[in-house]
Amino acid sequence: MIGIFALIKRNKYYNPHCLVQGSAKIIGHDFTQTVPTPVLQFFINGTEYKIKPRYKMVSGVRTPTQSKPEFWVDANGHAHYKINSFVNDFRPIANEIYPIGNEMRILYNQQNPKFAIVPGFAKKGSISSLIFTVIGILVIISSAVIFAGGFVK
Protein backbone atom coordinates (compact mmCIF):
# COMPACT_ATOMS: atom_id res chain seq x y z
CA MET A 1 0.00 0.00 0.00
CA ILE A 2 2.85 2.41 0.85
CA GLY A 3 4.52 1.74 -2.50
CA ILE A 4 1.34 2.22 -4.50
CA PHE A 5 0.57 5.45 -2.62
CA ALA A 6 4.12 6.72 -3.27
CA LEU A 7 3.87 5.92 -6.99
CA ILE A 8 0.51 7.71 -7.27
CA LYS A 9 1.85 10.72 -5.36
CA ARG A 10 4.99 10.83 -7.52
CA ASN A 11 3.03 10.71 -10.75
CA LYS A 12 0.45 13.23 -9.53
CA TYR A 13 2.92 15.91 -8.47
CA TYR A 14 6.11 15.30 -10.45
CA ASN A 15 5.21 13.91 -13.84
CA PRO A 16 4.43 15.93 -15.92
CA HIS A 17 3.39 18.80 -13.63
CA CYS A 18 6.87 20.11 -12.76
CA LEU A 19 7.09 22.24 -15.87
CA VAL A 20 7.77 25.73 -14.54
CA GLN A 21 11.46 26.51 -14.60
CA GLY A 22 13.02 28.59 -11.88
CA SER A 23 16.16 28.93 -9.85
CA ALA A 24 16.92 28.17 -6.24
CA LYS A 25 19.70 29.44 -4.02
CA ILE A 26 22.04 27.05 -2.23
CA ILE A 27 21.70 27.85 1.49
CA GLY A 28 23.39 24.82 3.05
CA HIS A 29 24.42 21.21 2.70
CA ASP A 30 22.80 17.92 3.67
CA PHE A 31 24.76 14.72 4.30
CA THR A 32 22.02 12.09 4.61
CA GLN A 33 23.39 10.25 1.55
CA THR A 34 26.95 10.36 2.99
CA VAL A 35 28.08 12.85 0.35
CA PRO A 36 27.09 16.53 0.22
CA THR A 37 23.73 17.44 -1.25
CA PRO A 38 22.66 21.07 -1.64
CA VAL A 39 19.85 22.47 0.47
CA LEU A 40 17.95 24.80 -1.86
CA GLN A 41 15.70 27.75 -1.10
CA PHE A 42 13.37 29.49 -3.52
CA PHE A 43 10.46 31.88 -3.30
CA ILE A 44 7.19 31.73 -5.24
CA ASN A 45 4.69 34.56 -4.71
CA GLY A 46 6.47 35.55 -1.49
CA THR A 47 6.32 32.04 0.02
CA GLU A 48 9.59 30.34 0.94
CA TYR A 49 10.21 26.73 -0.12
CA LYS A 50 13.18 24.50 0.70
CA ILE A 51 14.14 21.26 -1.02
CA LYS A 52 16.91 18.70 -0.58
CA PRO A 53 17.40 16.79 -3.83
CA ARG A 54 18.74 13.24 -3.76
CA TYR A 55 21.19 11.52 -6.08
CA LYS A 56 19.95 8.61 -8.17
CA MET A 57 22.85 6.50 -6.87
CA VAL A 58 25.95 7.00 -4.71
CA SER A 59 29.05 4.86 -5.12
CA GLY A 60 32.52 5.34 -3.80
CA VAL A 61 35.96 4.02 -3.13
CA ARG A 62 37.87 4.21 0.12
CA THR A 63 41.63 4.35 -0.32
CA PRO A 64 44.37 4.23 2.31
CA THR A 65 46.40 6.96 0.58
CA GLN A 66 43.87 9.48 -0.72
CA SER A 67 44.65 12.75 1.08
CA LYS A 68 41.74 14.94 -0.03
CA PRO A 69 38.22 13.63 -0.74
CA GLU A 70 37.16 13.71 -4.38
CA PHE A 71 33.54 14.00 -5.47
CA TRP A 72 31.79 14.24 -8.85
CA VAL A 73 28.36 13.67 -10.36
CA ASP A 74 28.10 12.08 -13.80
CA ALA A 75 25.58 12.94 -16.53
CA ASN A 76 23.14 10.29 -15.21
CA GLY A 77 22.86 11.89 -11.75
CA HIS A 78 25.04 9.26 -10.06
CA ALA A 79 27.36 10.60 -7.37
CA HIS A 80 30.87 9.14 -7.14
CA TYR A 81 33.56 9.70 -4.54
CA LYS A 82 37.05 8.73 -3.44
CA ILE A 83 37.84 9.22 0.21
CA ASN A 84 40.55 8.29 2.70
CA SER A 85 39.61 5.25 4.79
CA PHE A 86 40.29 7.19 7.97
CA VAL A 87 38.26 10.28 7.03
CA ASN A 88 34.51 9.91 6.70
CA ASP A 89 33.59 13.53 6.29
CA PHE A 90 32.94 15.61 3.18
CA ARG A 91 32.16 18.73 5.19
CA PRO A 92 35.53 20.42 4.46
CA ILE A 93 34.92 20.29 0.68
CA ALA A 94 31.12 20.66 0.61
CA ASN A 95 31.32 24.37 -0.15
CA GLU A 96 33.73 23.69 -3.02
CA ILE A 97 31.21 21.27 -4.57
CA TYR A 98 28.06 23.33 -3.94
CA PRO A 99 29.08 26.89 -3.00
CA ILE A 100 26.59 28.56 -0.68
CA GLY A 101 24.91 31.45 -2.45
CA ASN A 102 25.11 29.91 -5.93
CA GLU A 103 21.95 29.24 -7.92
CA MET A 104 20.69 25.93 -9.33
CA ARG A 105 17.98 25.34 -11.91
CA ILE A 106 14.77 23.75 -10.63
CA LEU A 107 11.44 22.67 -12.08
CA TYR A 108 8.37 23.07 -9.90
CA ASN A 109 4.64 22.40 -9.94
CA GLN A 110 2.86 25.71 -10.46
CA GLN A 111 -0.21 24.66 -8.42
CA ASN A 112 1.92 23.35 -5.53
CA PRO A 113 5.53 24.66 -5.63
CA LYS A 114 6.67 22.53 -2.69
CA PHE A 115 6.81 19.71 -5.24
CA ALA A 116 9.98 20.77 -7.01
CA ILE A 117 12.75 18.77 -8.65
CA VAL A 118 16.33 19.48 -9.65
CA PRO A 119 17.12 18.20 -13.15
CA GLY A 120 19.72 15.43 -12.95
CA PHE A 121 18.73 14.35 -9.45
CA ALA A 122 16.31 11.55 -8.58
CA LYS A 123 12.63 12.31 -8.36
CA LYS A 124 11.03 11.60 -4.99
CA GLY A 125 9.77 8.10 -4.49
CA SER A 126 11.42 6.70 -7.59
CA ILE A 127 13.21 3.64 -6.21
CA SER A 128 11.72 3.38 -2.73
CA SER A 129 8.15 3.28 -4.01
CA LEU A 130 9.08 0.56 -6.47
CA ILE A 131 10.71 -1.54 -3.73
CA PHE A 132 7.70 -1.14 -1.40
CA THR A 133 5.34 -2.07 -4.22
CA VAL A 134 7.26 -5.23 -5.19
CA ILE A 135 7.60 -6.38 -1.57
CA GLY A 136 3.92 -5.69 -0.93
CA ILE A 137 2.82 -7.68 -3.97
CA LEU A 138 5.06 -10.62 -2.96
CA VAL A 139 3.63 -10.60 0.58
CA ILE A 140 0.04 -10.53 -0.71
CA ILE A 141 0.66 -13.39 -3.16
CA SER A 142 2.48 -15.54 -0.60
CA SER A 143 -0.23 -14.90 2.01
CA ALA A 144 -2.96 -15.86 -0.43
CA VAL A 145 -1.15 -19.08 -1.38
CA ILE A 146 -0.46 -20.04 2.25
CA PHE A 147 -3.99 -19.31 3.49
CA ALA A 148 -5.51 -21.13 0.52
CA GLY A 149 -3.58 -24.23 1.61
CA GLY A 150 -1.31 -24.29 -1.40
CA PHE A 151 1.90 -25.18 0.46
CA VAL A 152 0.69 -26.61 3.77
CA LYS A 153 -1.48 -29.72 3.90
User: What's the whole-number mean pLDDT along residues 84-110?
Assistant: 81
How high is the pLDDT of residue 13?
46
Q: Give residue 34's region: left, alpha or beta (phi > 0; psi -120 to 50).
A: left
pLDDT at 141 over 90: no
pLDDT band for position 48 (cuts 50, 70, 90): very high
How high is the pLDDT of residue 66?
60
pLDDT at 26 over 90: yes
Gap between the Cα atoms of 148 and 126, Å rounded: 34
Gap between the Cα atoms of 126 and 32, Å rounded: 17
Task: Give the number of other Cβ atoms within 10 Å of residue 30's Cβ.
Answer: 16
Instruction: Please tell me whether the overall predicted TM-score, pTM, comes out greater than 0.85 for this model.
Output: no
